[in-house]
Chains A and B, each alone.
Chain A
């Protein structure tokens, strides 16, 4: 099975712009979660989508949003970019039903905000 794929792998944007990141989960996985990784804050949960519905949300401002499509692919959008949004954004997928489901991560999108 193909793993979780994320596009693009690298992005450079300037402050005030917006950005959209894409994640394709493992085939058959219906849950997609997004995490932000920074040197200062470590790995922080952004949100989880399951069957096109946001099921859980972390403590991030409303500039961070996401959605999931009927094929389980997910996009994450960040509007009005700030320098502090520079990070590695990781997507993870899991089957979605079980409480002990393992999350499988993609390679990440590295976003640099100038």
Chain B
């Protein structure tokens, strides 16, 4: 079945450091890929998405590129802020309508001033 693997956290960084969170997936066909972020005590917010190979999703300084060859969708940000401290989830959605999101285990990121 479908699965998503993320690097385990927590990831602790200093402000203005470079952030990378690795995400690889296993799926039939070419799913849509997403990154969601969850701040303490809140639900999930969509951060960015990509729907086909080589697409680059970007938002709020975060980027991720859909790599079909390596089945990966790594999240990057060039200069993190304290406000980026959260849990980040990589997820896939198969192309068939009515299918469910499959999530990775989440990566907690802590940015220190």
Contacts and interface: CB of A to CB of B under 8 A. Distances in A.
Binding between chains A and B: yes
Interface of A: 4, 6, 33, 35, 42-43, 45, 48, 50, 55-56, 58, 90, 92, 96-108
A90 B101 CA distance: 12
B43 A105 contact: yes
Interface of B: 32, 34, 36, 42-46, 49, 51, 89, 93-106
B36 A99 contact: no
Given A90-B44, A105-B36, 8 more contacts: A4-B43, A48-B100, A98-B97, A100-B32, A101-B93, A104-B46, A105-B43, A108-B43
A33 B46 contact: no
Contacts of B46: 102-105
Given A90-B43, A107-B43, A56 B103 contact: no
A107 B42 contact: yes
Given A45-B101, A56-B100, A105 B45 contact: yes
A67 B17 CA distance: 46
A56 B43 CA distance: 22
Contacts of A107: 42-43
Nearest to B50: A100
Nearest to A54: B98
A102 B46 CA distance: 8
A58 to B, nearest CB: 7
Contacts of B93: 99-101, 103
Contacts of A55: 98
B66 to A, nearest CB: 12
Contact of A42 (B45, B94, B95, B105): B105
